[in-house]
């Protein structure tokens, strides 16, 4: 818990926390600071407090970089897997579309033949009816 610098009330939880690298000290050392942003419930003033201070060493920085690199490599692997799955799904869908297109063309061809047959029947019926009316 921290104390509000204006009214002195204790504030329990920060609104936000983040880490940052501070300026070098007089001896040249750098520190990783964890900062918390608080808001006083009484006076509603916002203020920052350093919650943690950690010395940064080259070894620690290298380990952190390696951890970031491992995370990037994992992300890269998962993205490659997703891309492969999507490409496979795309080819399957294209094949299905081609089958449906062929089935649609065959159906249209059958319907065109049926329509041509029906037209011939209509013409023959008209001739037959026309012949009957002339009698």
Q: 76-96: per-residue pLDDT in tens?
A: 999 999 999 999 999 999 999
CA atoms of 52 and 16, how far apart (whole Å): 14
User: What rounded mean pLDDT belongs to the chain?
Assistant: 91
11, 38 in Cβ contact below 8 A?
Answer: yes
- The CA distance from 2 to 17, in Å, is 14
Instruction: Give the CATH number of domain 2-56; options: 1.10.3470, 2.20.25, 1.20.58, 2.30.30.
Output: 2.30.30
Classified as helix, coil or strand, 105 is helix
């Amino acid at each position: 818990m921290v104390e509000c610098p204006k009214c002195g009330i204790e504030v329990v939880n920060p609104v936000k926390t983040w880490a940052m690298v501070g300026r070098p000290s007089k001896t040249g050392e750098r520190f990783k600071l964890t900062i918390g942003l608080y808001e006083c419930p009484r006076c509603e003033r916002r203020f920052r407090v350093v919650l943690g201070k950690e010395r940064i060493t080259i070894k620690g920085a290298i380990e952190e970089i390696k951890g970031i690199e491992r995370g990037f490599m994992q992300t890269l692997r998962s993205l490659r897997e997703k891309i492969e799955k999507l490409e496979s799904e795309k080819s399957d869908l294209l094949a299905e579309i081609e089958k449906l297109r062929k089935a649609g063309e065959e159906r249209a061809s059958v319907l065109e033949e049926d329509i041509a047959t029906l037209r011939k029947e209509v013409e023959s019926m008209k001739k037959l009816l026309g012949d009957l009316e002339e009698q």
